[in-house]
């Protein structure tokens, strides 16, 4: 995962937490739910990036094994 992806995901997560907190504070259930959804989306993006990185690492290992 690139640094810019990590920063973007963290910003989305923090924005979601802020929306959730604002929704809780004001009693706005829609805003709270939107904030929670933003946080979940950020977590999913991070998980996908981690899987992508793991697959790329495995592919690199296989390639290097065949070069020997």
Contact 11, 4 (CB under 8 A): no
Q: What confidence score (pLDDT) does residue 65 get? A: 87
* pTM, two decimal places: 0.78
Tell me the per-residue pLDDT of 6-46, one tens digit each, with 9 for 90 and over.
899 999 999 999 999 999 999 999 999 999 999 999 999 99
Q: What confidence score (pLDDT) does residue 16 get? A: 97
Contact 49, 1 (CB under 8 A): yes
Furthest-apart CA pair in the chain: how many Å? 63
Q: What confidence score (pLDDT) does residue 55 get? A: 94
Q: How far lies 10's CA from each of 25, 42, 48, 57, 61, in Å?
A: 22, 7, 14, 24, 30
């Amino acid at each position: 995962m690139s640094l810019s992806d990590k920063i973007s995901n963290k910003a989305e997560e923090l924005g979601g937490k802020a929306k959730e907190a604002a929704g809780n504070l004001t009693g706005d259930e829609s805003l709270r739910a939107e904030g929670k959804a933003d946080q979940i989306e950020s977590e999913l993006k991070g998980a996908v990036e981690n899987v992508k990185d793991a697959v790329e690492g495995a592919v690199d290992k296989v390639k290097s094994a065949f070069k020997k």
